[in-house]
Amino acid sequence: MTVETSSSHEADAKLLQASLEVVADRADELIASFYGRLFDQYPAVRPMFPANMDAQHDKLLGAIIALVTNYENPEALRPTLEALGRKHDGWGVRPEHYTAVATCLLATLDEYAGEAWTPEIEGAWTRAYTFAAGTMLQGATTESTTTKAA
């Protein structure tokens, strides 16, 4: 089973890398478009972000690149994602916010990738995001459980 998971992560990693290359020359525009979509569709999340979004854009782009670059080895990503989940929990991020981000991120990637956005690539991104968000939520849950126990 571990081999299967590993090989599926490897196959998805190749799809993720290929699709990221398609949009790489418009990455800054894609990130700005993603946040525009997120704030339009889910205005309640806007107050969770700074007024000046430049640093936030860089952080999200860096996180996406790190996820794609390291996706073949998900266990290496786990500690960072769990720590990120704890930080997000402290900022008031809830499970429904992860769903909102997924919806907007996938729609934005689809828009920017155009014809290169295939069902296989969408599946790879969905699995990668689900892994990342799930691991972040585990980190947030661990923090919440630890805080309540203390």
pLDDT at 48 over 80: yes
pLDDT at 89: 92
Tens digits of per-residue pLDDT, 1-25? Answer: 334 456 688 999 999 999 999 999 9
Tens digits of per-residue pLDDT, 113-147? Answer: 999 999 999 999 999 999 999 999 999 887 544 44
d(CA 76, CA 52): 32
Q: In the chain, what percentage of residues exceed pLDDT 90?
A: 82
Domain that holds residue 92: 2-149
N-term to C-term CA, the chain: 37
Q: How many domains are there within the chain?
A: 1
Q: How confident is the model at residue 86 (pLDDT cuts 50, 70, 90)?
A: very high
Residue 120, Cβ neighbours under 10 Å: how many? Answer: 13
SS (H, E, C) 51-89: CCCHHHHHHHHHHHHHHHHHCCCHHHHHHHHHHHHHHHH
Q: Is the entire prediction scored with pTM above 0.85?
A: yes
CATH number at residue 140: 1.10.490.10
